[in-house]
Amino acid sequence: MYKLFFLDKDTYITDKIISAERRVSSSVGYASTIDLFKLYGMTSTMSGSSSIPNVELSRGLIHFDISELISLYQKKAIDITHSSFKAHVKLKDVYGGQTTPSNFNLVLAPLSRSFDEGFGKDIVYLSDIDTANFLSSSKIGGAWFLSGAAFGAPLGYVGGSDYFTTGVIGSKNLNFELTQSFKSGFEDLSLDVTPIISSTIAGILPDSGFRLSFENGQETDKFSYFVKRFASRHVYDKTLQPTLTIKFDDSVLDTTGAMNFNVSGSLFLYNYDQNGSANLLSSSIEISGSNCILLQLTTPISGGHYKSIFTGSQFSKGTYNLSGTYFANVIIPLSSELKQQLDYSGSVKFTPIWTSLDGSVTYVTGTDFEMKGPQTFTSPVGKKKYFISATGIPTQIKRSEKSLIRINIFDASDPLLKSIKFAINSPGKILRNLYYSLRDIDKNESIVPFDTLDNSTRISSDYQGHYFYLDGMSAIPNRTYVIDVLAVEANDQTIYRDVSSPFQIIDN
């Protein structure tokens, strides 16, 4: 699972002096950029006979719509405690020829209270009065604890705060103030916010968004930093808008179509009722958990039948068991009697039989599958070139849709290819490490990149071949995309571009 979440509100709040007047009630919620600045001594205020340098600054406020993510968590479709669950906030720099600071640090922290976006967009004279602004977070009773959302406190602080600095989650002491250094000043912002998002999904932190500012030492020093500019959600080029990237490995690797002797593989069983996926029942008791089912693999051999038995479990995504889905890890050594059959036909057909642990109840007898010979060669195997295609993609996909995409891999070098008279639906070659990417054709950039580290874009497999679900909500509407595929075998990585026809993501 690789999902993009977009902002549903953003703004920046300002304390800037224009025409000798501090503008602290201004709204720029509809501006196309989020501007961060700190000015020292550009203006001054007389105090008696002394001239006191003024400090002027701004801070950003952003909020992502993660309602779908919270729903997935409540349905146990994602496990926020799993090592593959990752969350990153990304903001794009939009340098436009203006002066830009260098060698500074920005701090992102979770807000403790919500804010209104406001309708203002005058970023020159700051003449639009609305909230959020430097004094208030919202229209009704929304004064900040300290002007500029300046009061940070630990999670659970009794007096309340504008944003959280630290917190104890479970047994971990977490620092919620995330810092990124900017050397040239033109860099994008990219921060790992996994603990913050996990805590928000679980209801430990309020879903109020983030505060973005220069670090405290730079807000209070005697230097100016003007102006670091990021694209907002109102930017004209929607490919530049801020994103929250969520990654989670929910791939299912059923190797039924790619089984070899002496090599470990995984076989799956899927059970359904009229309402969808459902656990198997034995005397009205659901079959669930680890080591709850047996898989028998049988095949006829000279003089009788060969049988091998493996213990299976309910399949889980992280710590959550998947209803009606079971698997067993299997490995079958190539014995002399099986080798005789393999040498004769090029493969051995096995029948999978799923039973109760005591073998007294047979739940299902599956379709025969082929076990091929070990992958053993007398010389190094050269890099293979496959023919890969994606099927099931319409020319237009609504953002609200999740489309099942099938990936077929044809290996022309397979020595076991047969020529037959009738058409068949072949699952094609099955690879254990196959990844997809969603690429914007016009920009030639991947909005969903290959992820071989956390496996969030790893393509699943079943007895019909490879597949994944394309989520329209993770794309920017009214743009044209294409699917690329990365095949990883041993130490070789090969990218296959344009495995699909171009298609467009459209609004509902």
CB-based contact 150:162 (threshold 8 Å):
yes
Q: 414-430 burial, b for 16+ CB within 10 Å, e for fewer?
A: eeeeeeeeeeeeebbbb
**Structural domain includes residue 429:** yes
The structure tokens listed for 15 are: 């304390």
Enclosing domain of residue 89: 2-247
- 457 and 421 within one domain: yes
- 286 and 231 within one domain: no
pLDDT score, position 318: 87
- 440 and 328 within one domain: no
The structure tokens listed for 419 are: 């020529």
**Structural domain includes residue 379:** no
pLDDT score, position 380: 61
Mean of pLDDT over the chain: 93
CB-based contact 148:15 (threshold 8 Å):
yes
pLDDT band at residue 283, thresholds of 50, 70 and 90? confident
Which segments of 65-203 are extended strands (E)? 86-91, 104-110, 152-153, 163-164, 166-169, 172-175, 178-182, 189-192
| Mean pLDDT score, 421-434 | 69
Among 474, 476, 506, 7, residue whose Cα is nearest residue 233 = 7
First CA to last CA across the chain, in angstroms?
Answer: 22
CA distance 269 to 297: 13
pLDDT score, position 357: 96
Model-level pTM? Answer: 0.91
Crossing angle for the helix pair 194-201 and 67-74, nearest 10 degrees?
70
pLDDT above 90 for 422: no
Among 115, 103, 360, residue whose Cα is nearest residue 217 = 103
pLDDT above 90 for 417: no
pLDDT above 60 for 147: yes
pLDDT score, position 347: 92
Q: 77-111 burial, b for 16+ CB within 10 Å, e for fewer?
A: bbbbebebbbbbbebbbbeeeeebbeebebbbbbb
The structure tokens listed for 189 are: 């912002």
The structure tokens listed for 481 are: 């995309």
pLDDT score, position 423: 43
CA distance 452 to 433: 9
pLDDT band at residue 210, thresholds of 50, 70 and 90? very high
pLDDT score, position 303: 78
CA distance 22 to 358: 80
pLDDT score, position 415: 53
- 93 and 208 within one domain: yes
The four Cα atoms 499, 501, 506, 508 give a dihedral, to 10 degrees, of: -90
- 463 and 317 within one domain: no
**Structural domain includes residue 346:** yes
| Mean pLDDT score, 239-246 | 97
pLDDT above 50 for 431: yes
How far is the CA of 1 from the CAs of 167, 252, 394, 498, in angstroms?
28, 11, 21, 21
Exposed/middle/buried for residue 75 (C-beta within 10 Å: 0-12, 13-18, 19+)? exposed
Q: What is the pLDDT of residues 334-379, one digit of tens each?
A: 999 999 889 988 899 999 999 999 999 999 999 999 999 987 665 5
CB-based contact 265:259 (threshold 8 Å):
yes
pLDDT band at residue 47, thresholds of 50, 70 and 90? confident
Q: In total, how many domains does the chain have?
A: 3
Calculate what percentage of the chain has a pLDDT beyond 90: 83
| Mean pLDDT score, 2-20 | 96
pLDDT score, position 381: 62
Amino acid at 352: P
CB-based contact 12:32 (threshold 8 Å):
no
| Mean pLDDT score, 476-483 | 95
pLDDT score, position 392: 82
> What angle is formed at CA 203 by the lines to CA 198 and CA 205, rounded to 5 degrees?
75
- 415 and 333 within one domain: no
- 422 and 328 within one domain: no
Give the domain-ending residue among 372, 395, 425. 372
- 459 and 347 within one domain: no
**Structural domain includes residue 208:** yes
Q: Is 217 helix (H, G, I), strand (E, B) or coil?
A: helix
- 332 and 415 within one domain: no
- 274 and 210 within one domain: no
The structure tokens listed for 109 are: 């922290």
Among 364, 370, 406, residue whose Cα is nearest residue 269 = 364
pLDDT score, position 376: 67
Task: Indicate which CATH number applies to the domain containing 466.
Answer: 2.60.40.10
Q: Is 69 helix (H, G, I), strand (E, B) or coil?
A: helix
| Mean pLDDT score, 397-417 | 83
- 325 and 276 within one domain: yes
The structure tokens listed for 160 are: 């309340």
Q: Is 331 helix (H, G, I), strand (E, B) or coil?
A: coil
pLDDT band at residue 424, thresholds of 50, 70 and 90? very low
**Structural domain includes residue 377:** no
